[in-house]
Structure 1
């Protein structure tokens, strides 16, 4: 039975020598080295993942151009989510220029790192948002629970902007506790009420304590599925950040296990089809055993 190809909806490539990754220092241990397509290729192959969406890791236009240059000659890169100064008066011109690259599929302002949790509703981003909509580009929201009010206001303000919440809004898995889960779950339910919003089943291993297993992640994954359904959830590895607390094959297998109650078509959507549709990726068909995604 033919199924949509498997797509990793969220991973990164970087080179520390470029010098614009403020967070990437020797203290980040296993992450402080160059990661490129050749490093990911065998991991993708072992999980049957055909292509990926590469997401920015530095808040610079220069890194976005570097990723687009990389994507131009790398077939495994299906799309790039870059960065632009969304509140710059001339951002519409910049977005129009970058959008000439067919693999630019969205932008991400790295909201989690900004000093003001309400930046997304206080900053003058109207020009930038309208340019994204005009060029059919998506918006990746990198947020925590504490950003819920601001992001919900932003979503209500821009109902035609396609938005995806990265990493399930980074749930407080390691901290545990009912209050943390409840606040996060409420935020997720709130985001899911907006029809234009999708969510990434990614980054959960990084937010868990060392020694996590399927049972650790199960309630968090269950709530994401309940809120967004298999039609608006997309699997991503968050590799190589994932290497801080797991590995590609382990997280892929865990996500497969935690979504086993879905139908074959629903699993194909979560592990590829939804990313292809949301990011407007050109995609093909791949054969998977038993009708499941070939990953």
Structure 2
């Protein structure tokens, strides 16, 4: 009932020994034509010396569009994405025409800026609006407790990322962190800042299912997003929800 016409699978942080199995399964899924899934972003460990051999085996697949390693996981040290081997792997992705999803702690977005600047030939996609926490944008009397991150620093870092032409922002994920009582207005400061910073041509929608269910149903998330963007031009809404993903991922 959500009119999903095409979907890009996003890796699910599988164990390293299962990465090849995941990728091959996804290629078969895309080839089957039995689901809306037509492309995939697969798991990878760019800081590994074996990354080149791993990723090049899929370079001829029209279904593999990029790689992600979750950088906010406990297993990912701070600053990992700036390690020499990691940066080298990012250059390789650009040479192969593949993207890398930056799924990182809000406090480390500045590292993403440095990485994107150092590797201008690779496209980076900032996941989940930079993992912004909606509660961090609430007033003290409404929020209760400490902020999980500085909202002003997040704004500055998002603006810095947006200045890099090779960076895209995925509008996703933020609903997973809302309190039990929430509404679209609570998400609006994050969504609107990202849309304004990156512009209508460098943003894509992400469902983040099933993780979104930590805060809302998939329908609840899409309904809230549509409310937030309702006043924007219809053409810009279509770019966010459909056209940009088709263009950026080369979907057919």
Indicate the residue corresponding to 1:133 in structure 2: 94
- Alpha carbons 2:87, 2:115 under 8 Å: kept: no
* Superimposed CA distance per residue, residues 82-138 of structure 1 (whole angstroms, 9 cap, x where no aligned partner): 012212334223212122222111000111114411000024124422321122111
Instruction: Specify every segment of 5 or more residues in structure 2 that has no aligned partner in the other structure, as ranges.
Output: 140-148
1:105 corresponds to which of 65, 87, 105: 65
Give yes or no for the alignment of 1:49 onto 2:4.
Answer: yes
Q: Secondary structure at the match of 2:135?
A: coil
- Alpha carbons 2:132, 2:154 under 8 Å: kept: yes
Q: Secondary structure at the match of 2:89?
A: helix
Q: In structure 1, what is the Cα distance between the partners aligned to 2:155 and 2:76? A: 24
RMSD: 1.8
- Alpha carbons 2:91, 2:121 under 8 Å: kept: no
- Alpha carbons 2:106, 2:132 under 8 Å: kept: yes
Q: In structure 1, what is the Cα distance between the partners aligned to 2:190 and 2:87? A: 33
Higher relative contact order (CA 8 A, sep 6+): 1
**Pair 177,248 (structure 1): closer, same or farther in 2 beyond 3 Å:** closer
Q: Structure 2 length as normaliser, TM-score?
A: 0.87
Count of aligned pairs between the two proteins: 237
Indicate the residue corresponding to 1:83 in structure 2: 43
The CA deviation at 1:177 is: 4.8
Q: Secondary structure at the match of 1:57?
A: coil
Greater mean alpha carbon deviation, residues 134-143 or residues 178-187: 178-187
Q: In structure 1, what is the Cα distance between the partners aligned to 2:83 and 2:39? A: 29
Instruction: Specify every segment of 5 or more residues in structure 1 that has no aligned partner in the other structure, as ranges.
Output: 1-45, 283-295
The CA deviation at 1:77 is: 0.7
Q: Structure 1 length as normaliser, TM-score?
A: 0.75
